[in-house]
Structure 1
């Protein structure tokens, strides 16, 4: 049994350690555990936010000693600390913090679909210092059902004596509406909704959570956050990388399924939701659910699919390993979404995501309606720059606002300027891989940043007509690797008299250079 160690640090100001619990990770040998969960636990330990009684059980196929698993994780973490200082904000591991975590690791060999695995796991959990347990399913989606079923049948999900039992489930949560409903029904046959934490790592980013603060903590924004003042909203998640050896997965998924009904819809929900009465988890999730319920189902005319071809940034998608030579899988997706409620009626939300694009960029741009031009008709101005508030999520963290001022001189000439805010200029950015807040909140029982069954299903319902079109399959258009996407995506906005914000404009480039 791992020995107790003093906490490596005092808790952050205003925070307290999470309740004692045992974290059981299914898929202990996987990439998610090594690259995200363990770094997140290490960062939480460094901040003093884990209880001294915490234990971590790693469940995986294949026999190995706990010491071997610890050594593998230690080597991986040290490499990340050296290679990714931005993740840990130091190139050297805090040995005291990692030792605190590593001494609480215990490896458990077992098959995910074996009754014996779960009966033995129950016996092991009974020896832990706390009856609170979080089961983290860091496994492929095909194991979600059998693991939850076996946990339920083994009595491991029973909550007795004030203790909690919780399940964390990664995406993809279903592949369409029917499969999401089926998965929800199966899981809720063994656990209550309050025990299920459907995780979306986008919501773990501080810059995503800050959307609510920007909207509701500033009197400047909320009065104009409506159809009377906003022309349209653009939500972008662009990547410069390709499928990175994940061709087999991507062939079954595609950019639309992988990003739109989850990550991008989550950003849309936070931008479009009504003000909640409090930050209580159910209150916030109710407001987001209302947004998803109001989304007008998408049709073929509302989406554009693309696939990267050989270009300045590298080979084409069909040249990637494990990709079919004649593949029609989309690596780019753009969508026009309408939220049919009183606040947003008639305001289009344009969503785009893709791989092998011109720049890495995750951001939300809110463009206000144009002012009447009449006042400036006799001045040397062809057009006024639209007012745009851009919330930069990744890799740059901050906001910019585009507006107009008078150019110095004797003539009334208007020029475009930009005001910007960067998180790093005001705050000490903490080590973060995006899972720290989510793990901490799960241990606390705060479900605000996790998805509810009804929201999952409503989001899939909005895109189901695209996934299962009644007519011919949606065309997939080529775009050069390293470009801004297919021309057809530009035409989608041009038909509405609008245009995408450039991925490589000067303001974005300056932000990225600072990040």
Structure 2
């Protein structure tokens, strides 16, 4: 099964930071794949904008190499690559000054009905200045859209300031705050499973679900991001945005329609219903060297750092659907495996007719975001063979790669889908300003609490499952973390 292609109208897309890492790894290879799929009209224009002094030919050479490295099997079609590159132009632009803006104006099609999208693939300190430049140079029309990458502020105060700054130049329905996790096929399948199947929705509540685990584990360290990460930490870098969004999709009430504001209204209700988290329900960790890699403090070049590279916490949502159901969240660097998983752990049957020897069994719906995107539902059956009623848990597996075979590569990448949604004007999978502020309003007191107490993160060995205290956090409730072995 190949993704169904829905054509879009001709558009102009300007990528600020068009020579940067994200543009080369994700944005432009993704656009090339959409071009091959027939989704980008021939009249469309893609314009790279950055500080580097480069002409169109030099930019096309740069992106040709990026496509060959990152676009997968389609990059072997050299004719398609060259056809795509003909849509590309480049303008050296000074985000803080006047250089390049007149040239950019001249490149863009002067049509008020035409979609203009401006992707801010730059540091957040440039979001406001770029928005102001677009407005002052007459490039911000009603059909214009801006795409901004995280971080959306460093705390509630800066998030509010950023929202207010962008709102001076663009309406909320023109601002697309992108979180690539929401573009993943499995995340959207989560909504399809919940709201498209009578099988699950009646069971999706505290009466039948024992607890939920959300895990985003990485094997890499902070590496070249050390200086940024040391001012951020796992809470700001991952929990406040990625994990919060996954939590919202798991916990939200069914929206009236699958439309942007209807979905985001329900997500906002979840964030506002989150209880404050007690300090003893939070475990912060920091990786140490295992002899083959540097420690966090070495990577961050800060020998006295108290920044967490790992965090686990237990939280509750105060509403009727989820009363007293714990949500366990964890994320970290330099762990034993690379895995992003949501696990819905159902309660045991109220009474086992098979006796104590049959063991304890629970159904678990595992939603894997990476690697090997897919879903697995654990079901209890009788173990084959004679010798009595022995029970065993087996998976009903829907791994995309297994189900689709060679066509699995045609499952649309998160960035591809989200960029096309920007062009269509569909904000369903993007965060709204009040969502971002509500997430910071919940997160800030937790961060302020451990900073005020002077808490130190717990050390853990690189390549392990995290600090021992994180295991105790869930084990004392009679539960266990799921394996993160990659």
TM-score by length of 1: 0.89
Answering whether residue 386 of structure 2 is matched by residue 409 of structure 1, we say yes
Structure 1 residue 454 displacement after superposition: 0.8
Matched ranges for 1:469-508 at <5 A? 469=449, 471-504=452-485
Answering whether residue 420 of structure 2 is matched by residue 443 of structure 1, we say no
Structure 1 residue 299 displacement after superposition: 4.0
CA distance in 2 between partners of 1:331 and 1:154 (Å): 42
User: Among residues 330, 334, 353, which one is paired with 1:352 in the alignment?
Assistant: 330
Q: Residue 66 of structure 2 aligns with which residue?
A: 76
How large is the Cα RMSD of the aligned pairs? 2.0
Structure 1 residue 126 displacement after superposition: 4.8
Q: 1:323/1:13 Cα in 2 relative to 1: closer, same or farther (>3 Å)?
A: closer
CA distance in 2 between partners of 1:175 and 1:398 (Å): 33
Cα distance per residue 1:62-103 (max 9 Å; x no partner): 32111111111112221335xxxxxx246x432233222211
* Equivalent residues of 1:251, 1:323 under 8 A apart: no
Partner SS for 1:234: strand
Q: Residue 114 of structure 1 aligns with which residue?
A: 97
Matched ranges for 1:88-127 at <5 A? 88-89=72-73, 92-126=75-109
Q: 1:346/1:130 Cα in 2 relative to 1: closer, same or farther (>3 Å)?
A: same
CA distance in 2 between partners of 1:102 and 1:473 (Å): 53
Structure 1 residue 234 displacement after superposition: 0.2
Answering whether residue 364 of structure 2 is matched by residue 388 of structure 1, we say yes
Answering whether residue 297 of structure 2 is matched by residue 307 of structure 1, we say no
Q: Residue 15 of structure 2 aligns with which residue?
A: 25
Could you tell which deviates more after superposition, 307-316 or 343-352? 307-316
CA distance in 2 between partners of 1:298 and 1:100 (Å): 54
User: Among residues 363, 378, 389, which one is paired with 2:341 in the alignment?
Assistant: 363
* Equivalent residues of 2:346, 2:363 under 8 A apart: yes
CA distance in 2 between partners of 1:48 and 1:268 (Å): 34
Cα distance per residue 1:431-459 (max 9 Å; x no partner): 64420100111000011111101111111
Cα distance per residue 1:16-70 (max 9 Å; x no partner): 3211111011111110111111111101001000111111111111321111111
Structure 1 residue 312 displacement after superposition: 6.7
Partner SS for 2:108: helix
Structure 1 residue 373 displacement after superposition: 4.6
CA distance in 1 between partners of 2:33 and 2:276 (Å): 41
Partner SS for 2:223: coil
Partner SS for 1:468: helix
CA distance in 2 between partners of 1:313 and 1:239 (Å): 16
Q: Residue 226 of structure 1 aligns with which residue?
A: 205
Q: 1:100/1:60 Cα in 2 relative to 1: closer, same or farther (>3 Å)?
A: same
Structure 1 residue 127 displacement after superposition: 5.6
Q: 1:472/1:179 Cα in 2 relative to 1: closer, same or farther (>3 Å)?
A: same
* Equivalent residues of 2:263, 2:428 under 8 A apart: yes
Q: 1:291/1:471 Cα in 2 relative to 1: closer, same or farther (>3 Å)?
A: same
* Equivalent residues of 2:316, 2:326 under 8 A apart: yes
* Equivalent residues of 2:312, 2:330 under 8 A apart: yes
Q: 1:102/1:129 Cα in 2 relative to 1: closer, same or farther (>3 Å)?
A: farther
Q: 1:411/1:124 Cα in 2 relative to 1: closer, same or farther (>3 Å)?
A: closer
Structure 1 residue 155 displacement after superposition: 2.6
* Equivalent residues of 1:309, 1:481 under 8 A apart: yes
Structure 1 residue 460 displacement after superposition: 1.1
Cα distance per residue 1:194-247 (max 9 Å; x no partner): 000000011111111111111112221111000000010000111111123221
CA distance in 1 between partners of 2:91 and 2:174 (Å): 23
Q: Residue 168 of structure 1 aligns with which residue?
A: 147
Partner SS for 2:232: helix
Partner SS for 1:245: helix
Partner SS for 1:328: coil
* Equivalent residues of 2:91, 2:103 under 8 A apart: no
Q: 1:176/1:13 Cα in 2 relative to 1: closer, same or farther (>3 Å)?
A: closer
Cα distance per residue 1:390-440 (max 9 Å; x no partner): 111110122222232333434333333333221223332216442010011
Answering whether residue 221 of structure 2 is matched by residue 242 of structure 1, we say yes
Cα distance per residue 1:255-306 (max 9 Å; x no partner): 1111101111111111111112221222112111211121123342332111
Q: Residue 465 of structure 1 aligns with which residue?
A: 445
Q: Residue 400 of structure 1 aligns with which residue?
A: 376
Structure 1 residue 128 displacement after superposition: 7.9
Cα distance per residue 1:339-385 (max 9 Å; x no partner): 111111111111111111111111100011122356344x424x412
* Equivalent residues of 1:336, 1:350 under 8 A apart: yes
CA distance in 2 between partners of 1:36 and 1:97 (Å): 18
TM-score by length of 2: 0.94
Q: Residue 85 of structure 1 aligns with which residue?
A: none
Q: Residue 233 of structure 2 aligns with which residue?
A: 254
